[in-house]
Chains A and B, each alone.
Chain A
């Protein structure tokens, strides 16, 4: 069959598999680094937005709004192609992680803020009445409760970050997509692209399923 030979050519897939797996490793490196940096940055922004002086809070809101509005591909191209004009020359890897983290931090900050605001005022008052510091109130009382609320949306955000790593291929990062397009050119056959798509789905499907289960679990009203 011509169609099968074109799109599901086993020999091409087997030949390109090592290249695709190397790409997968790069994709995971970019994704995990961006997720961790985005989580840390988002948590910091969310807490600073609660306790910082009002001018800092205003700046944080500005940051969050800007980075939720800008298309990731545009940001990535700005970081990689525009920053060198002011002497900031970042490697493709650092460019990709920077762009992904900046955006992820903005989304994560909103998720954490919603989680913290979902905690009843009485929890803050009880902590204050006991003489707990702001730090202990957050670490011991508020965040452990908020984290349970924000796990489903945070996992969703992680899925988005992992998917968005594919954009790194435009700054010549040898990620999964880039490897697939190169293998496709080499073999003059699109099967490696199909292979890459399958790998993305195999990687992310379990996470999507977990989010669905978590959302169901948390919506049962268990806090």
Chain B
């Protein structure tokens, strides 16, 4: 773990409730620069909510704190700054359907970073080549397969040169034959030292790529450790039960 840098994301007693229903029960978590963290757990365990709090797509209780690169996450003027540093890839891609692939990737650098057009386009084409779909630049998202769309979404997030990338079940809405191409891109990305927090049901990916695996259940962080610790020698009964259920089918 010595390739990891200092703490990039710091989460303290993160609590989130919808009315009487508590989704997250006081989560504490530190994520280091360059670390790849995979969050696993059953549906409704709060894992998506957890990463959506990091860029404040979900508001959280006031006595909780999250800092990204030293900046407090919360409503207010610093939020845009945090969001510019935190890229996100969604389960349903959420590409802009009325723009070409190229424009999708260039938009945020042009508007938020005020990058000159020529520079933004050069960078966008470079990123498309990196995710393996350079030839699709002029197409619209609706003309691409799900796997290609998700790779565009990854390129769009990378275009802001974020300090961390959040993945919210990036392969869950893909046809099975397209899961591999997206995971390949993410695997390559992990190898380049990008900080990644990945909510996923792909246990093979988590085992192979993660520096640390976190198991969540019922809005609590139940167990965390290296992939070997979690997959080969889980300590908590709930972790064992979950892994038995997902691995034996």
- Residues in chain A within 8 A of chain B (CB atoms): 120, 122-123, 125-126, 128-133, 136, 140-141, 144-145, 148, 223
Query: 5 interchain pairs (CB within 8 A)?
Result: A122-B94, A126-B94, A130-B107, A130-B112, A132-B112
Q: Which residue of B lies closest to A122 (CB)?
A: B94
User: Which of B81-89, B214-222, B234-242 touches A?
Assistant: B81-89
CB distance from B66 to the nearest CB of A (A): 15
Q: Is the beta-carbon distance between A125 and B108 smaller than 8 angstroms?
A: no
Question: Does B205 make an interface contact (CB < 8 A)?
Answer: no
**Which A residues are in CB contact (< 8 Å) with B92?**
122
The residue that A129 contacts in the complex, of B83, B97, B107, B111, with Cβ under 8 A, is B83
A sample of 20 more A-B contacts (CB under 8 A), given A126-B90, A126-B95, is: A122-B90, A123-B96, A128-B55, A129-B55, A129-B87, A129-B88, A130-B84, A130-B87, A130-B156, A130-B157, A131-B84, A131-B108, A131-B160, A132-B107, A132-B108, A132-B111, A136-B111, A140-B107, A141-B107, A148-B98
B98 touches A145 (CB 8 A): yes
Question: Closest 4 CB pairs between A and B?
Answer: A131-B84, A126-B94, A122-B94, A130-B108
Q: Which of B57, B83, B90, B94 contacts A131 (CB 8 A)?
A: B83
User: Which of A129, A148, A223 lies at the interface centre, i.e. has the most chain B CB atoms within 10 A of its CB?
Assistant: A129
Cα-based distance from A136 to B106 in the complex (angstroms) = 13
- Nearest-CB residue, chain B, relative to A139: B111
Q: Hey, which chain A residues are within 8 Å of B87, CB to CB?
A: 129-130
Please determine whether A129 and B86 come into contact, CB atoms closer than 8 angstroms: yes
Min CB distance, A198 to chain B, in Å? 41
Asked if B246 is an interface residue, CB under 8 A from chain A, the answer is: no
Chain B positions 47-72 with a Cβ under 8 Å from a chain A Cβ: 55, 57
> Does chain A have a CB within 8 A of B144?
no
Q: Is the CB of B80 within 8 A of A133?
A: yes
Nearest A residue (CB) for B84: A131
Say yes or no: B96 contacts A126, CB within 8 Å: yes
Contact between chains at A130 and B83 (CB < 8 Å): yes
**Which residues of chain B come closer than 8 Å to A122, judged between CB atoms?**
90, 92, 94
In Å, the complex CA distance between A149 and B86 comes to: 32
**How distant is A46 from chain B, measured CB to nearest CB, in Å?**
19
Q: Select one of B57, B84, B97, B111 contacting A223, CB under 8 A.
A: B97
Interface residues of B in 121-147 (CB under 8 A from A): none
Do the beta carbons of A125 and B97 come within 8 Å of each other?
no
Cα-based distance from A130 to B107 in the complex (angstroms): 9
Which residue of chain A lies nearest to B55 when distances are taken between CB atoms in the complex? A129
By a CB distance below 8 angstroms, the chain B residues around A132 are 107-108, 111-112
CA of A131 to CA of B73, assembled, Å: 13
In the complex, what's the smallest C-beta–C-beta distance from A138 to chain B, in angstroms?
12
| B residues less than 8 Å from A125 (CB atoms) | 57, 90, 94
Q: Using Cβ atoms and an 8 Å threshold, which residues of chain B touch A145? A: 96-98
A140 to B98, CA, bound (A): 10
Output the least CB separation between A202 and chain B (Å): 35
Residues of A within 8 A of B96 (CB): 123, 126, 140-141, 145
Q: From A133, which residue of chain B is reached at the shortest CB distance?
A: B80
B112 — which chain A residues lie within 8 A by C-beta?
A: 130-133, 136
CA distance A140 to B110 in the complex (A): 11
Complex Cα spacing A122 to B55, Å: 14
What residues of A have a CB within 8 angstroms of the CB of B156 in the complex?
A: 130
Chain B residues near A131 (CB, 8 Å)?
80-81, 83-84, 108, 112, 160
Q: Which residues does chain B contribute within 8 Å of A133, judged by CB atoms?
A: 80, 111-112
- A134 nearest CB across to chain B (Å): 10
